[in-house]
Amino acid sequence: MKKDIFLSNSLGNKKERFIPINEKNIGMYVCGPTVYDHPHIGNARPLVVFDILYKILKCKFGENKVTYIRNITDIDDKIIEASLEKKISINDLTKKITNIFHEDCKYLNCEIPTHEPKATENILLMIEMIKKLIENNFAYETNNHVYFEVNKFKDYGKLSNKNLDELISGVRVEISEDKKNPADFVLWKPSKEKEPSWESPWGKGRPGWHLECSAMSKKFLGDKFDIHGGGMDLIFPHHENEIAQSRCANQNEIFANYWVHNGFITVSNEKMSKSQGNILKISDFKKKVSGQVLRLALVSAHYKQPLDWNEKLLSECEKTISKWYESYTNIEKSVLIPEEYLLPLYDDLNTPGYIANLHKLFEKSQKGSVKDKEMFVSACNFIGLLTESRTLWDKFKQSKSKISVEEIKKKINERNTARNNKDYKKADKIRNELLDKGVLIEDKDDKTQWKFK
């Protein structure tokens, strides 16, 4: 019998044993991208973190027992602003960025979620939810806007662990004379000329951002479900507002049982921001670094902790993957991984602990049999690593190298000749030349082996 899964629950701020509502149908909703610009490395972290959680849940409960929803926000103020700035239609912009997002997911070796709903495809559900909130006396209409009245919901602020006054003073809230309270948030608002709009009982307009996730999670997972995930920056106001409107519309005490949030990524100890000019787009890495390297870097720290992104981190992760490929073997079917190696992942997604176990398995595979190598590769595959062949990995490394395979072989022959002539100074010089060009050589059993570093 497999051990229990434990997760850090932001609702209550403690680690808890995961007990599903229904073991045969576990529901997980994760906030996806707002498709207005290229996804950056900060967006990549939740992609990989929740991809691994998805794998763990399937491992524990069964391949077809987990429903994973990750939405696409394709209507939002940021999208409208970006389309005007870039002089491109909203439809063309959202299609383009959605395609880039999917390419980035593939590059990072993330599994496809069970469903990936788009906000624009579910507007009628949002209108129905707003009607329900008005009917239940938790929302009000004024001047073609509909607002949620936060004072009516007694548990508002419970997720972020702050009272209403703290929340209002701690963040920028949209100021409007139409609101009863500055913290009231918009559920529906009128669209300006040439902006996307839909017919509603409150006039032509569009939904508020927070409402979109409430409607889409309800559609696929019901009034209550197991896990809601996203970045730590979404705790307030987005997730706080989701809880309020969902519970009040559905009239229940539970929206999601477990709220899982990943920490921020900094770049050389600086917060990522446009003003700092340090936003690293995922697509910027594609020609320079394998997606496997990025994936390993993203899980090198515990998901709850901040992760500092720098060249040293990437370099170390690339060296690790290169080393691990020394034990690569092609496996047709994954080998069952002993539970003792999976335990760190069951304990609140402790990826650093699991990586330590991978190092142990690697050392064992280097000394052991083909079965040990199969076990090691299967354990790497489990978290989305070593999923491409050794040949493809070597081709990628070669594409980054400043020297061709033919030149490498020629240099090795020259070095062997120098060694036979006892010209060790020349032999060392050739070794260093190859090293400078990204090639490591090793003399073993009267033969010279080489690999891209």
The domains of the chain, with CATH numbers, are: 6-265 (3.40.50.620), 287-394 (no CATH), 401-452 (no CATH)
Backbone phi, then psi, for 26, in 5-degree steps?
Answer: -85, 135
Identify any residues that bridge with 139 across adjacent strands, giving them in sequence order: 148
pLDDT the model gives residue 171: 54
pLDDT the model gives residue 235: 96
SS3 state of residue 170: helix
Residues 6+ apart with CB under 8 A from 173: 182, 183
The Cα–Cα gap between 22 and 5 comes to: 15
pLDDT the model gives residue 172: 54
**Exposure of 251 in the CB half-sphere (CA atoms within 13 A):** 6
User: Which letter does DSSP use for residue 73 in this model?
Assistant: B
SS3 state of residue 115: strand
Average pLDDT over residues 190-211: 95
In sequence order, what DSSP letters do the residues of 222-273 get, joined into one string?
-S-EEEEEEEGGGIIIIIHHHHHHHHHHHT-S-SEEEEEEEPPEEETTEE--
SS3 state of residue 306: coil
Looking at per-residue pLDDT, the higher value among 171 and 90 belongs to: 90
In sequence order, what DSSP letters do the residues of 378-437 get, joined into one string?
HHHHHTT-S-S-HHHHHHHHHHHSSS-HHHHHHHHHHHHHHHHTT-HHHHHHHHHHHHHT
Residue 452, pLDDT above cutoff 80: no
pLDDT digits (tens, 9 = 90+) for 273-331: 777 788 999 999 998 899 999 999 999 999 999 999 999 999 999 999 999 999 999 99
Q: Degrees (nearest 5) of the Cα angle 255, 59, 319? A: 110
The encoded tokens of residue 424 equal 């060790």
User: Which letter does DSSP use for residue 120 in this model?
Assistant: G
% of the chain with per-residue pLDDT over 90: 76
**Exposure of 182 in the CB half-sphere (CA atoms within 13 A):** 12
Angstrom distances, CA of residue 333 to CA of 170, 205, 337, 374, 393: 52, 52, 12, 9, 20
| Residue carrying the six token digits 């060296």 | 319
What global pTM score does this model have? 0.90
Query: Sign of torsion, CA 172 153 232 30?
Result: negative
The encoded tokens of residue 109 equal 């070796």
Residue 175, pLDDT above cutoff 70: no
The Cα–Cα gap between 385 and 375 comes to: 13
Identify any residues that bridge with 225 across adjacent strands, giving them in sequence order: 256
Whether residue 433 contacts residue 411, with contact meaning beta carbons closer than 8 Å, is answered with yes
Residue 56, pLDDT above cutoff 90: yes
pLDDT the model gives residue 174: 65
The Cα–Cα gap between 153 and 157 comes to: 10
pLDDT the model gives residue 248: 98
Whether residue 344 contacts residue 350, with contact meaning beta carbons closer than 8 Å, is answered with yes
